[in-house]
């Protein structure tokens, strides 16, 4: 059926719409008029008291039904310790909060921003301008931070950072939020700090910046062993309370052993870089008495690693004999001791049992060192790692290998296939190459250290040439034609 779409046909529907609109306007006008009339009548007719009662009921209901704004609490963290009259230095927490907020600030949501730092390559730091505020969320709760300007003429120190939150979260703010700020700043500072390596000069340490580039990513070793070392370190870091509870020093001892050039020193550097701990490289040949050793060990900071390389060379058999003698004298003097003093489960530290008449200058003994580390570190510091390295584990004194002395013994071995892949990736970012099958086969038959393979890879910047060099080196080794083989 055809429809008529001419202008004449459209007129009736237009009229209908105009009529409907007129009706609606008339209805609205009369409803408004009725409402005004009703309000006027109510004002005229209802008694004054009744009107008051209705108004009160209405506001009471509104107060009940409308959500009330939550009660708020504010913690004020002043820049200065002390009070208005007495400046007592900087408040450490203020600086920590400032550093924390710098990592949480959303530059786009701020009207104005303060930018500081950057001198001598230092990081630039964002902060709030006085009068500004920002919100930080923690465990689903919003904390509003405000930077409040100093007041008065001598305003320094009255400057503060203030955090506001719903009163119901007060316990959480004090018990978890603020401690979390401190912990995350401490972690960040640790990550940022330049690592140092200290070396002993008689009874004191001399430190220089430690820039060893070895990391667990670049370290060529069996992947499972590598992961287990990383897991061990992570566990160690988390166990502060555990060590405290059992009354043991919060320390961990590793013995790294294996042929020269297998990466023992590189592993030490990787551990230091991973934990961001300073290294203390102790040269025992320069320590002339137990007293010096005592001073050196006490002088180490927390979060540090004590390294004693080539421990097999440090204690001559003569010094072991002396130690046995000493232990023998003590037995004669009434002290309990086994026949084999080195294997005694808990021999007292030589200096603790030293009678006052003994000379201060006394030779260092292995048991003295081990006992001191065990005993003194439990009271004088936290988060220490002690690492001994040796190329010859079989030459070590049994005292060192006794259960409980070293927490882990880690063998750094010859270059296997996985270790080789790590080295090739380090030098050429290569994960595959036609020469790989041949090199893999050779590595299974030849004992080459990662240091030797690294050296071959370094000889050329061209990956093909370098890999050919490695294959030739391994083949020569297999034939026994490499020098020193
Ligand atoms: N496992 C490894 N992963 C990566 N590089 C290694 C490894 N082993 C050796 N290297 C390379 O060889 C060099 C020497 O290795 P490193 O000093 O770590 O071996 P080491 O076992 O401590 O030797 P030594 O017993 O002679 O002290 C390192 O600087 C590094 O370039």
Query: What does the pLDDT profile of the chain (485 residues) look like in tens digits?
Result: 444 445 555 556 667 766 777 776 677 666 666 766 766 666 666 677 787 888 888 888 887 777 777 799 999 999 887 666 666 677 889 999 999 999 898 888 888 888 877 665 566 778 888 888 999 999 999 999 999 987 655 555 578 999 999 999 999 999 999 999 999 998 888 888 889 999 998 789 999 988 888 999 999 999 999 999 999 999 998 887 787 777 777 888 899 999 999 999 999 999 999 999 999 999 988 888 778 888 888 889 888 999 999 988 876 444 444 455 454 444 433 333 333 332 332 333 332 333 333 344 456 666 667 777 777 676 667 889 999 999 998 888 777 777 777 889 999 999 999 999 999 999 999 999 999 999 999 999 999 999 999 999 999 999 999 999 999 999 999 988 665 55
Ligand 1 centroid distance, CA of 22 (Å): 95
Angle at 209 between CA 207 and CA 215, to 5 degrees: 125
DSSP string spanning 91-128?
-HHHHHHHHHHHHH--GGG-SSEEEEE-GGGPPEEEEE
State the DSSP code for 285. G
Ligand 1 centroid distance, CA of 220 (Å): 9
pLDDT score at 192: 80
Residue 334 Cα distances to 140, 328, 329, angstroms: 65, 10, 9
Ligand 1 centroid distance, CA of 193 (Å): 25
Sheet holding 72-78, edge to edge: 72-78, 160-166, 141-148, 133-138
Residue 222 near residue 418, CB atoms below 8 Å: yes
Residue bearing the CA closest to ligand 1, atom 12: 451
Contacts 24+ apart (CB under 8 A), 82-86: 82/157, 84/157, 84/158
Instruction: Report the sign of the C-alpha dihedral through residues 227, 233, 234, 239, in that order.
Output: positive
pLDDT score at 460: 94
Pocket test for ligand 1, best of 262, 272, 422, 459 (most atoms within 8 A of CB): 262
Report d(CA 270, CA 212) in Å as an integer: 8
Report d(CA 161, CA 74) in Å as an integer: 10
Residue bearing the CA closest to ligand 1, atom 26: 260
Place of tokens 């100093």: 150
Residue bearing the CA closest to ligand 1, atom 16: 263
Instruction: Please compute, for residue 45, the number of CA atoms within 13 A of its CA located in the half-sphere on the CB side.
Output: 6
Report d(CA 467, CA 457) in Å as an integer: 7
Q: Which residues contact 303 (CB under 8 A, 6 or more apart)?
A: 190, 275, 276, 277, 278, 382, 383, 384
How many other β-carbons are positioned within 10 Å of the β-carbon of residue 402? 14
Pocket test for ligand 1, best of 389, 454, 458, 459 (most atoms within 8 A of CB): 454
Please identify, by atom number, the ligand 1 atom nearest to the C-alpha of residue 220. Answer: 3
Please identify, by atom number, the ligand 1 atom nearest to the C-alpha of residue 391. Answer: 25
Ligand 1 centroid distance, CA of 469 (Å): 19
- How buried is residue 403: exposed, middle or buried, by Cβ count under 10 Å (0-12/13-18/19+)? exposed
Ligand 1 centroid distance, CA of 263 (Å): 3
How many other β-carbons are positioned within 10 Å of the β-carbon of residue 125? 16
Pocket test for ligand 1, best of 219, 222, 259, 265 (most atoms within 8 A of CB): 265
Ligand 1 centroid distance, CA of 225 (Å): 16
Residue 368 near residue 297, CB atoms below 8 Å: no
Report d(CA 342, CA 42) in Å as an integer: 105
Ligand 1 centroid distance, CA of 201 (Å): 26
Please identify, by atom number, the ligand 1 atom nearest to the C-alpha of residue 269. Answer: 18
**pTM tops 0.80:** no
Tens-digit pLDDT profile for residues 156-199: 557 899 999 999 999 999 999 999 999 999 888 888 888 999 99
Ligand 1 centroid distance, CA of 236 (Å): 25
Binding pocket residue ranges, ligand 1, CB within 6 Å: 219-221, 260-266, 391, 412, 450-451, 454
Ligand 1 centroid distance, CA of 451 (Å): 5
Residue bearing the CA closest to ligand 1, atom 8: 263
pLDDT score at 153: 53
Ligand 1 centroid distance, CA of 411 (Å): 13
Report d(CA 458, CA 23) in Å as an integer: 94
């Amino acid at each position: 059926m055809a429809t008529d779409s001419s202008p004449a046909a459209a007129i009736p529907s237009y009229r209908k719409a105009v009529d409907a609109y007129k009706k609606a306007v008339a209805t609205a006008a009369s409803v408004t008029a009725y409402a005004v009339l009703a309000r006027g009548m109510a004002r005229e007719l209802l008694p004054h008291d009744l009107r008051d009662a209705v108004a009160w009921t209405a506001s009471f209901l509104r107060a009940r039904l409308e959500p009330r704004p939550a009660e708020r609490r504010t913690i004020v963290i002043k820049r200065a310790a002390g009070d208005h009259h007495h400046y007592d230095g900087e408040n450490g927490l203020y600086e920590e909060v400032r550093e924390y907020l710098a990592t949480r600030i959303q530059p786009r949501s701020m009207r104005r921003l303060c930018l500081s730092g950057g001198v001598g390559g230092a990081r630039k730091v964002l902060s709030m301008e006085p009068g500004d505020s920002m919100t930080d969320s923690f465990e689903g709760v919003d904390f509003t931070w405000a930077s409040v300007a100093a007041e008065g003429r001598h305003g320094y120190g009255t400057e503060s950072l203030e955090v506001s939150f719903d009163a119901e979260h007060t316990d959480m703010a004090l018990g978890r939020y603020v401690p979390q700020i401190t912990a995350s700043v401490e972690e960040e500072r640790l990550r940022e700090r330049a690592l140092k390596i200290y070396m002993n000069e008689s009874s004191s340490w001399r430190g220089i910046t430690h820039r060893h580039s070895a990391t667990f990513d670049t370290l060529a070793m069996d992947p499972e062993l590598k992961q287990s070392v990383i897991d061990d370190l992570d566990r160690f870091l988390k166990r502060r309370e555990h060590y405290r509870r059992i009354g043991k020093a919060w320390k961990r001892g590793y013995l790294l052993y294996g042929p020269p050039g297998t990466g023992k020193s590189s592993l030490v550097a990787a551990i230091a870089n991973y934990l961001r701990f300073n290294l203390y490289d102790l040269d025992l040949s320069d320590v002339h008495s137990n007293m010096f050793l005592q001073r050196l060990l006490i002088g180490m900071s927390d979060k540090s690693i004590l390294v004693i390389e080539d421990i097999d060379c440090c204690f001559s058999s003569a010094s072991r004999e002396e130690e046995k003698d000493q232990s023998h004298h003590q037995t004669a003097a009434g002290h309990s001791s086994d026949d084999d003093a080195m294997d005694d489960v808990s021999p007292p530290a030589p200096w603790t049992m030293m009678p006052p008449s003994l000379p201060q200058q006394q030779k260092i003994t292995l048991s003295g060192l081990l006992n001191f580390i065990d005993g003194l570190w439990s009271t004088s510091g936290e988060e220490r790692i002690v690492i001994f390295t040796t190329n010859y584990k079989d030459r070590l004194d049994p005292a060192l290998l006794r259960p409980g002395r070293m927490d882990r013994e880690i063998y750094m071995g010859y270059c296997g296939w996985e270790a080789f892949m790590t080295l090739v990736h380090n030098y050429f970012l290569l994960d595959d190459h036609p020469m790989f099958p041949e090199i893999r086969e050779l590595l299974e038959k030849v004992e080459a250290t990662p240091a030797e393979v690294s050296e071959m890879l370094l000889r050329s910047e061209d990956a093909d040439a370098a890999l050919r060099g490695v294959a030739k080196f391994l083949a020569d080794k297999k034939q026994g034609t490499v020098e020193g083989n």
